[in-house]
Amino acid sequence: MHITNHDLTSKDRKYLEEIAYLASLKRSPEEEIQHHLDCIQSSPEEKRALHELYLAHLSKPHLKTEWINEEINIGSSVDYDNYEYYIHLLNEAEMDSDMGTHEEEESCHELFANNPWESRNYEASATKVSKRSGFEAWAEVIYIGGDYATGETDYGKVYIPIHFVHQLGINVGQLIFMCMTFKGFGEARLCVMPWRCSFINITS
């Protein structure tokens, strides 16, 4: 089947340049090397699968333009004139997100493996999980909405009830030390995030 190629608009190019630059600021030299290796080693099948996924959701992306490519032939970081580079960025973002989620889940498994039920107390701390699956940790606020906020910890994302935001004047990017309750692994829980904030001890 023949598929045509459509160019990005200047607004879309600017958007991609900005997110690529912001992503690069968070990486250490070692992470930058790993970042490039992950991009190089991802298979054509993985890129094609991501490509086909976005083709199936053309009406949803924020770009709101038709985009299709005949080949996945990724260019350099200065090549922003077609959607091939856009797909490249999507692939990188997906791999980065998957790796981050995997590392958080592994940290969570290790936390509970080191805190079996018989060794737990009723009080949570920064080193011990309580019998109610409570744990104290630092979280960075990454999102504030109308009904709730989201924090990011080494053990996964945490749901923060909106009343904490109003009471303490919490802002995005702020670090908070909280007691959070574990809600379960993966499909075993009924909510999206693995942790829920119970109370906040310290705000930065």
Report mean pLDDT in 10-residue bins for the chain, 204 residues. Answer: 43 62 73 75 71 51 44 45 63 70 85 93 93 95 92 93 94 94 84 92 79
Q: Which domains does the chain have, with CATH numbers?
A: 10-103 (no CATH), 117-203 (2.40.50)
The pLDDT of residue 87 is 67
Q: Residue 34: name the closest of 107, 92, 106 by CA.
A: 92
The pLDDT of residue 7 is 41
Q: Is the pTM of this model over 0.85?
A: no
The pLDDT of residue 85 is 64
Do residues 129 and 112 lie in contact, with contact meaning Cβ atoms separated by under 8 Å? yes
The pLDDT of residue 68 is 42
The pLDDT of residue 55 is 52
The pLDDT of residue 132 is 93
The pLDDT of residue 203 is 78
The Cα–Cα gap between 67 and 142 comes to: 30
